[in-house]
Amino acid sequence: MPYAWETAFLEEGDMLKASEEQEHLYDDFHCFDFSPFHDGIKLDFHTSFHKSFCDGKKETSVLVLLMTGGGQGTQEPRYPPWRNCWFREFLTSHTIIVAPRVPLLPESPGRVVKQYMRAVLRYLGTETASFKSEITSRYPTMVSEIRTDHVFVIGESAGAIPANYAWHLSRGTGVKVYEMLFLYPLVNDYMRLKWDDFMGRRYEKDQVQKYTVEILVERYTSPVQLSRVGSVPPRGMGAAFGLSTTLCPMIINGISQVRSTWRLIFMGWSVLQEMQAMADEDYSLTGACESPGPDENILSPRTIVRGVGERLIEMWEKEKLDEELGKLDSGMLAEKVGAAHVRKFGPRFIPEMDVFEITLDPPTKEKPDYCPKIRTLHGLRDIHVPHENTEKFQRLIRKLYPEPDIHCIYAENKAHAFAYNDRGPEIIEMIAMLRGDCESLRACQSSSST
């Protein structure tokens, strides 16, 4: 049965298909999965490196931490063909790619994603020998050195959130980020108010809300089943459209506001909010924002919790259903069951006010004592993740760090996720820049080894 997360708002022909080149892009790479435990957390890695790396020569590798996109819920690092074709043109044969699979949301609020990323960094930084043994136990002739003091981090779309954590949380982990590459990064709350148009098709408000409720119900009742592996490309832009355009009344850290239902999936501060807190040295964020106008696409929280409750009741054993039905009418039963279930993930439904209450942990309080090189590629027609947020991010970097090495390439007439199979001048410019950076990185490693 297809999942609403993958199919909502999409029609035949909408999905970008992997080309034959993409399908065979990593045929000359060794790829394997492993799941170590660290800090009491089970990690999940997809690792790949060029087969020529197993030639018995002892060289220094470039460690790449790849955080793929898809709102983390559809993040699928196990599908290498879906990585941008041009990655191969600057990732050398000395590259080891590590793609951590962040826990599926919404069972992972912001603090859980932070805990997971900190464990990833500590494992790579303090148990490098264990990581190396995972490789050599499979490929004994791979004898190259693995360095964690010059790590290259890639954050694509929503992958920018854990990618930033890789930098912000690196203090004391044994990992230092040398450079970060952001592709149309999601650094702000995901809220897009134009709800009536998706991929050139018009939608009525009730259609958009219906799909969005289905997506949320599915995420709260069967999130683990949404993982895909193998040759199925990641999906989810239809779900992203629904979650970003459908708004919901919330009380966040005591402040009443209206936010997109994306906030019910990712319950953490945005990258811009965390960076602003560091710049202002004020970590008492309330999460307030401007509320949209009265005619916007606002969904009742009661509709969401009742939808979750109805789905759970369908899944119950008949004996349990009969017992509960004796206490409440069907509508109130669904509301009670749904509210209790959603509460496990963070949001508390307040029926008297028809609102969700969410409490967020404080943002990251330790400003990193260094700023890596930062390269960003963003389309100027990106309606999902507006390029203005990238500009705000760069302004905050410059406020926090004197003379940072940052550069952004803006692509005219390009939308979100355009870089998968694009070969325009902006891509060529970025490849040339990244090649030079990788050469500088190898030179840094060589000089620090002597």
Are 91 and 168 within one domain?
yes
Q: What is the CATH number of the domain that holds 404?
A: 3.40.50.1820
| Parent domain of 352 | 197-358
Could you tell me the two tokens for 366?
A: 């330790």
Closest residue by Cα to residue 269 from 289, 290, 245, 291: 289
pLDDT for 57 equals 75
Mean pLDDT of 119-128: 92
**Higher per-residue confidence, 413 vs 322:** 413
* 2, part of any domain: no
Higher pLDDT, 355 or 420: 355
> What pLDDT, on a 0 to 100 scale, did the predictor assign at position 233?
47
Return the closest-CA partner of residue 263 out of 246, 280, 277, 278: 246
Look up residue 309 and give its two tokens.
């409750």
pLDDT at 286 over 60: no
pLDDT in tens, 136-147: 999 998 878 888
299 closest CA partner among 344, 244, 342, 345: 244
- Strands 406-411 and 201-202, bridge-based pairing: unpaired
pTM of the entire structure? 0.88
Domain identity same for 33 and 166? yes
139 and 287 share one domain: no
Of 107-111, 168-172, 261-265, the least confident:
107-111
Which of 180-194, 252-266, 292-306, 434-448 is the least confident region?
Answer: 434-448
Length of the chain: 450
Q: Are residues 38 and 84 in the same domain?
A: yes
The continuous run of DSSP H or E covering 226 comes out as: none
Number of structural domains found in the chain: 2
pLDDT of residue 208: 92
- Mean pLDDT, range 395-423, rounded to an integer: 90
Final residue of a structural domain among 358, 386, 413: 358
How confident is the model over 49-69, as pLDDT tens digits?
888 888 777 777 889 998 887
Question: 314 φ, ψ to 5°?
Answer: -60, -30
Residue 81 has pLDDT above 60, yes or no: no
Whether residue 400 is predicted with pLDDT greater than 90 in this model: the reply is yes
Q: Are the beta carbons of 54 and 48 closer than 8 angstroms?
A: no
The pLDDT score that the predictor gives to residue 291 is 61
Is 379 within a domain? yes
pLDDT for 410 equals 96
HSE toward the beta carbon, residue 286, CA cutoff 13 A: 8
> Which pLDDT belongs to residue 157?
87
pLDDT: is 387 or 323 the higher one? 387
For residues 253 and 371, membership in a common domain is answered with: no
> What rounded mean pLDDT belongs to the chain?
82
pLDDT at 290 > cutoff 80: no
> What is the model's pLDDT at position 215?
87
Do 354 and 375 belong to one domain?
no
Tokens read off for 206: 């009730």
Whether residue 338 has pLDDT greater than 80: yes
Residue 415 pLDDT level (bands cut at 50, 70, 90): confident
pLDDT over 90 at 178, yes or no: yes
Shared domain for 353 and 378, answered yes or no, is: no
Q: Are residues 227 and 297 in the same domain?
A: yes
- Residue 397: pLDDT above 90? yes
The answer to the question of residue 3 being in a domain is no
* Domain final position from 330, 358, 386: 358
Supply 38's token pair: 């660290």
Q: Are strands 247-252 and 255-260 parallel, antiparallel or unpaired?
A: antiparallel
* pLDDT at residue 279 greater than cutoff 70: yes
If asked whether residues 371 and 354 sit together in one domain, one would say: no
Q: Are residues 174 and 228 in the same domain?
A: no
Looking at 148-204, list the stretches that DSSP marks H as alpha helix, in order from N- to C-terminal side.
Answer: 160-168
pLDDT at 229: 40
Mean pLDDT over 160-172 rounds to 92
Do 178 and 48 share a structural domain? yes
β strands within 313-436, DSSP E = 348-350, 355-358, 373-379, 406-411
Residue 126 lies in a domain: yes
